[in-house]
Amino acid sequence: MQTCTGNQSNGIAFTAPVTTLNIQTLTQPIAPPTGTTGASLSSSPDSLITPGSAGPSASSVTLKTDSSVSIITNATAGVSPPYVAAPGIDVRSTGAGGTNGTPGSSSGPGGDGGAGGAGGAVTVNTAGTVVSSFAGRPVNPRAVEFGNTTDLNNAQTDLKNAQDELGIRNFLSTATDDATKAACGGTLPCPANKLQDDTVRQAAPHARKRG
């Protein structure tokens, strides 16, 4: 039996012969580096060498935590999926594989291979919390992704100019003040053929483009 207390922030990992792991009275969360399991316990015996031997069975394993235990694991997006965070708790018991049989020949058949060993019982009792988080890939405009921000800036400038132009035309088409009426040749709404006239735009007090 192994008992872990206090500061275990970098994670906890044991293998057989430890078959019971108690985690309790921690002073801070278990928060290991990206891709590292928070708490793990495993039993996985080695295979034998003799041909035809059965694989050894694995031991039963038990992991327990009290309410002081908080486990936080995370993953960061890579080039391709799946983007999976490391397990918060990983407990497993895997029997060893059996060895190969003996080869056959012209004088007789080969021997059978050995059976694989059985896995043991796995028990997890936790009174704490386990959280896995995922830091996703930032979403940027394609211009930023490919380093072509000049086109992006030009497009933003073109959009602003177009919005300004629509605002000027809308004003000249709906204005009622005397200054705009005079600039439009004494007619309101301003005639369509004068909407792009620079003389009108300079004379109308609210129709000048902002610099």
Pull the structure tokens for residue 9. 């922030």
pLDDT tens digits for range 112-125: 888 989 999 999 99
Share of the chain above pLDDT 70, in %: 85
Q: What is the mean pLDDT of residues 166-193?
A: 83
Amino acid type, 172 = L
Fill in the DSSP letter of residue 194.
G
Q: Is the pLDDT of residue 210 over 50?
A: no
Fill in the DSSP letter of residue 27.
S
Full strand arrangement of the beta sheet holding 12-15: 12-15, 39-43, 89-93
- Read off the pLDDT band of 151 (50, 70, 90): confident
Using CA atoms, how far apart are residues 63 and 40, in angstroms rounded to an integer? 8
- Read off the pLDDT band of 52 (50, 70, 90): confident
